[in-house]
Amino acid sequence: MLQRIAMLSAHTSPLEQPGDGDAGGMNVYVIELSRQLAARGIEVEIFTRATSRHQPAVHVPEPGITVHHVAAGPFEGLEKNDLPSQLCSFVRDVLRAEVENEPGHFDLVHSHYWLSGQVGTVARERWNVPLVHTMHTMAKVKNAMLAEGDAAEPIGRIRGEEEIVRLADRLIANTAEERRELIELYDADPERVAVVHPGVDVQVFSPGRQAEARRRLGVPDDAALVLFAGRIQPLKAPDVVLKAAAVMLERDPALRERLAVVVVGGASGSGLQHPTALADLGVELGLDDVVQFVPTVGQRELADWYAAASVVCVPSHNESFGLVAIEAQACGTPVVAARVGGLTTAVADGVTGVLIDGHDPADYATALHRLLTDPDLREAMSQKAVRHAEGFGWDVTADRTLAVYDQAVTTHRESLV
């Protein structure tokens, strides 16, 4: 029986608000999985890099979950690409957590993203416990699908990921597609790669309340609302949503009376270099009266935006899973998304939404316009979307993750005999 797990999330804290900076679906994943484990009586200690001198060294946000804010490098102004140079400091403080306790304090290490995986390989060796790793994104996959304006991931990251794949006791892939990529691109042992889908909080993201949500948000009852939610950066392709809106209005000028395009989120990654680029594009396309930018919001207000929307658009160049798509469907909102990565699992094409090959705004305009102007189709997809999303609860994610943990622990113990 597992008693205590070290959860490593070096470059971003699960307590940060998703949608800004480096905070996104992985943050949701780590905190929701930790909550499920804590509810099952397993103590979770999360290690993340401190980003403010005002953060307490140790914080207990909920019973059974302890967050360690590790001082590693400058508190502010450090970009993700600069973090590898600070890993030695991070490793030192993570290892100290074991030294300050009885031997065998942790039963297992679960690392998230390649930076944490590098730390996890050291902790695995020093603590003599199994390492389970979740990539979330992979350099070789991202480099094969670069968005315009994005820089390629460095060779150092690729080498680091290859090392993690070689040393981890178990790898968790979000989808069968990601499992295939780990095996084919990173030569992972198929026996050590398990598929565990991320989940959705169906208590927060729930259907049947569009009118109520629109009233709270000040959205007109008859609005044809297209929503983009997430980090504003080339990888997520929010520009495709605006360009698709312009195409729709060119084809159907009367739609302008009802069309609303709402972008919820903040600049991130390479998008920080030109934080006003998307707003500037909106002006250039003549969409000033159509587009609304909303800063990053909490989960419950985000659920309101999903519920208020007629359709949610996820045109990313790459997604390891696509939590936005599942959250939107849990709220009963169909999704138009790119046919990439985990989105092919998150969205049932032609049933709960539409998957688009490529990133041609005209193709997105066609799919969006059909959903906006065909209420019967939208309602049919809405009902099926809710049922589809119900199969992705965090309790299911936790149960399957625990099965992977048990396999890792059993194999590790057998290797010691």
pLDDT-based confidence at residue 78 (cuts at 50, 70, 90): low
Spatial contact of 256 and 223, defined as CB atoms under 8 Å apart:
no
pLDDT of amino acid 271: 47
CA distance 174 to 197: 5
* Mean predicted confidence (pLDDT) in 5-28: 77
98 labelled binding-site residue? no
Q: Which DSSP string corresponds to 216-246? A: HHT--TT-EEEEEES-BSGGG-HHHHHHHHH
Query: For the chain, what are the domain ranges?
Result: 4-199+394-416, 210-392
Cβ neighbours around 253 below 10 Å, total: 9
CA distance 224 to 214: 12
Above 70 in pLDDT, residue 355?
yes
* Mean predicted confidence (pLDDT) in 186-213: 96
18 labelled binding-site residue? yes
327 labelled binding-site residue? yes
Q: Which residue has the tokens 């099926």?
A: 384
180 labelled binding-site residue? no
Closest CA to 25 of 351, 391, 397: 397
Spatial contact of 205 and 369, defined as CB atoms under 8 Å apart:
no
In three-state secondary structure terms, 168 is coil
pLDDT of amino acid 102: 82
- 348 CB-contact burial (10 Å; exposed 0-12 / middle 13-18 / buried 19+): middle
Which tokens sit at 296? 């990053």
Cβ neighbours around 11 below 10 Å, total: 23
* Mean predicted confidence (pLDDT) in 195-200: 95
pLDDT of amino acid 416: 80
27 labelled binding-site residue? yes
Above 90 in pLDDT, residue 289?
yes
Spatial contact of 400 and 121, defined as CB atoms under 8 Å apart:
no
- 288 CB-contact burial (10 Å; exposed 0-12 / middle 13-18 / buried 19+): exposed
* Mean predicted confidence (pLDDT) in 31-60: 92
User: What CATH architecture does domain 210-392 belong to?
Assistant: 3-Layer(aba) Sandwich (3.40)
80 labelled binding-site residue? yes
Closest CA to 174 of 321, 31, 37, 27: 321
Give pLDDT tens digits for 252-284: 999 999 999 999 998 755 545 556 899 999 999
Alpha-carbon distances of 370 from 97, 301, 382, rounded to whole Å? 56, 27, 14
pLDDT-based confidence at residue 20 (cuts at 50, 70, 90): low
pLDDT of amino acid 396: 94
Closest CA to 348 of 320, 374, 329, 372: 329
**Mean pLDDT of the chain, nearest integer:** 91
**271/84: higher pLDDT:** 84
Give pLDDT tens digits for 332-348: 999 999 999 999 999 99
* Beta bridge partners of residue 338, listed in sequence order: 356
* Mean predicted confidence (pLDDT) in 2-16: 88
Closest CA to 196 of 42, 331, 390, 29: 29
137 labelled binding-site residue? yes
pLDDT of amino acid 228: 98
pLDDT-based confidence at residue 150 (cuts at 50, 70, 90): confident
Cβ neighbours around 16 below 10 Å, total: 18
CA distance 365 to 343: 19
Pairing between strand 131-134 and 43-49? unpaired
Closest CA to 261 of 365, 331, 377, 356: 365
Above 90 in pLDDT, residue 85?
no
Q: What are the strands, taking DSSP E only, across 265-382?
A: 291-294, 311-314, 335-338, 353-356
Which tokens sit at 39? 């509810």
333 labelled binding-site residue? yes
29 labelled binding-site residue? no
CA distance 206 to 393: 12
pLDDT of amino acid 145: 85
Spatial contact of 331 and 207, defined as CB atoms under 8 Å apart:
yes
Q: Which residue has the tokens 């909920």?
A: 62
* Beta bridge partners of residue 228, listed in sequence order: 263
In three-state secondary structure terms, 271 is helix
* Mean predicted confidence (pLDDT) in 189-211: 95
Instruction: Answer whether 4-199+394-416 and 210-392 agree in fold.
Output: yes
Element (H, E) at 58: strand 58-62
Q: What is the CA radius of gyration of the chain?
A: 21
pLDDT of amino acid 82: 63
pLDDT of amino acid 383: 97
Closest CA to 320 of 182, 191, 184: 182
User: What CATH architecture does domain 4-199+394-416 belong to?
Assistant: 3-Layer(aba) Sandwich (3.40)
Above 80 in pLDDT, residue 16?
no
pLDDT of amino acid 53: 82
113 labelled binding-site residue? yes
- Give the pTM: 0.89
Cβ neighbours of residue 156 under 8 Å, at least 6 residues apart?
84
CA distance 162 to 164: 5
